[in-house]
Structure 1
Amino acid sequence: MNLAVVLVSPKTPGNIGAAARAMLNMGARDLRLVAPRCDHLDSGAVAMAVHAADLLREARLYPTLREALADRDLSVGTTARLRADLPAPQHPGHLRPLVRAAAAPALVFGPEETGLINSDLEQCQVTVRVPTAEYASLNLAQAVLLVCYEFLQGVDELPERTRKTATREEMEAMYGHLHETMRLIGYTDAVRARHTLRLWRAVLDRALMSSAESRLFRGLLRQVAWKVEDAARRGPAALPPAQGPEPTEDTP
């Protein structure tokens, strides 16, 4: 499986090295670091990685999570907490078929002291929580080991997926376009826009759109913008007449 492990703003070299070792244990080799706060090639990281030092040397660094996920078609965020306005995290077993069916999935892990923040989780189509006892805080490397095990070693490989879904970059571009269109037509305002877009993300991410479908949706948005701008140029006479409610059987 072409699985990427994305560590967002990791703080200590030892945790990065231990996470790389956990990846190698489970058969993952694509390590991506987003704005790390330490040197991932520090001697402490290499020592903790043991035989996974090559993963550290081959790790790719990105300034933002969006760039780290740009070529992925499924992003799975990790969290131990329920978040307002965001879908509840799911058991790994429930997500395993979805991850196995993806062509290029990514597992996203947050900073050691805070985990992923809401703006990071918004970029993930689904979230996962490892079942634990009441104390749910896992060390970063422990979390990487357990989640990678669930998706890479938990069950036999499923048949290869034939339908390729859109990359996260294509989806993020579509959501940016949707946000602009919602503001243009007055569907939402600056105060409610973020909450409204979260709800639309949840709906559209479940659709697992293909690249062609995301382009189709953006074509609709472009037509909406053109229609609004054309009506503004032509003045009030160009606007369609207001329609009353549809007649019912009780309407005289």
Structure 2
Amino acid sequence: MEDTALAQVRIVLVRPIGPLNVGAVARVMKNMGLSQLVLVDPQCEHLGEQARTMALHAADILESAQLFTSLPEALQSCARAIATTARDRRLSLHLEAPRTALPWLLEGRPSALIFGPEDRGLSNDDLKYAQRFIRIASSDAYPSLNLAQAVGICCYELYQSIGEGERDITPQPFAEENSASLEMLEQYYQQLESVLLKIGYLYPHTATSRMAKFRLLFNRAQPSTTEVAMLRGILSQIEWALSTRSASVSNAPLPSEKS
């Protein structure tokens, strides 16, 4: 398959339930020039007869699909990720239209477009790994879209966002000053949570909800590789200061008893 900008976008299905949907997704991906199908903890047989029947001439997309047990693993080496959601889920998400947001995935590669399972969509925990969020507007009479239909709409918008003269352009690697990878950001979040717990800003029972807000903040800011390295350097210095103070306190001589 051609090495186009579209081919660098991963279509990530998180815990898909229906093999017919997975097959239909593979077919519409091939229709629109996308080739990277990623399945996270699939709940169906993606290489079975039903999936192959729906994929038709896109069986190669199914056969080359990458399988992962978790979403962070599926996003390794990606620098940009957009998640699809039908509602805000009380995370104060800024929801955008596919036509507005999706071209951003083509400005820097590799990137990912994430879809949730058919029955409930992406969880709040899944959403924290994305930087932007899209909602496909639909009629209030029946707002819920089928998974394959949602993927089809997004793949079409991605295809339309590439001009005829640009479809065969080989994407260039990210420059150093471009956005940090999602993997690098995840390492920063792990270190940030550890430090905030040590200094008492976070408590174990509130860490998850507080860190979700920090993730939204930094994901929205899209820090560069250099900026994330600077932030991690600050955290490392804080950890060093904490350990030095702890050592000084433990080595301090005990006060002598008064007679």
TM bucket (normalised to shorter chain) is 0.7 to 0.9
- Does the CA-based 8 Å contact 2:37-2:66 persist in structure 1? yes
- Does the CA-based 8 Å contact 2:9-2:106 persist in structure 1? no
- Residue 153 (structure 1) aligns with: 160
Q: How do residues 151-230 of structure 1 correspond to structure 2 at under 5 angstroms?
A: 151-154=158-161, 156=163, 162=175, 163-230=177-244
CA RMSD of aligned residues (A): 2.2
- Does the CA-based 8 Å contact 1:86-1:198 persist in structure 2? no
Asked if 1:115 is matched to 2:121, the reply is yes
How far apart in 1 are the matches of 2:72 and 2:102?
23
How far apart in 2 are the matches of 1:202 and 1:21?
33
Asked if 1:72 is matched to 2:86, the reply is no
How far apart in 2 are the matches of 1:94 and 1:192?
34
- Residue 91 (structure 2) aligns with: 85
How far apart in 1 are the matches of 2:244 and 2:100?
47
How far apart in 1 are the matches of 2:122 and 2:52?
25
Structure 1 length as normaliser, TM-score?
0.88
Deviations 1:133-180 (A, max 9, x none): 112211111010111222232353599775532221111111011000
How far apart in 2 are the matches of 1:206 and 1:98?
13
Shift of 1:195: 2.0
Deviations 1:107-144 (A, max 9, x none): 11111111111100111111111111112211111010
Deviations 1:175-206 (A, max 9, x none): 01100011111112122212221221122112
Bigger drift between 221-230 and 185-194 goes to 185-194
Asked if 1:59 is matched to 2:65, the reply is yes
- Residue 248 (structure 1) aligns with: none
SS class of match (1:106): strand
How far apart in 2 are the matches of 1:93 and 1:38?
30
How far apart in 1 are the matches of 2:101 and 2:144?
21
- Residue 106 (structure 1) aligns with: 112
- Residue 142 (structure 1) aligns with: 149
How far apart in 1 are the matches of 2:148 and 2:71?
19
Task: Say how many residue pairs are matched.
Answer: 238
Whichever residue aligns with residue 93 of structure 2, its letter is P
Shift of 1:7: 0.5
* Identity percentage of aligned residues: 38
- Residue 18 (structure 2) aligns with: 12
How far apart in 1 are the matches of 2:48 and 2:92?
36
How far apart in 2 are the matches of 1:115 and 1:3?
20
How far apart in 1 are the matches of 2:238 and 2:101?
36
Structure 2 length as normaliser, TM-score?
0.85
Whichever residue aligns with residue 190 of structure 1, its letter is P
Shift of 1:211: 2.5
- Residue 241 (structure 1) aligns with: none
- Residue 247 (structure 2) aligns with: 233
SS class of match (1:10): coil
SS class of match (2:82): strand
Whichever residue aligns with residue 174 of structure 1, its letter is Y
Change (3 A) 1:23 1:99: same
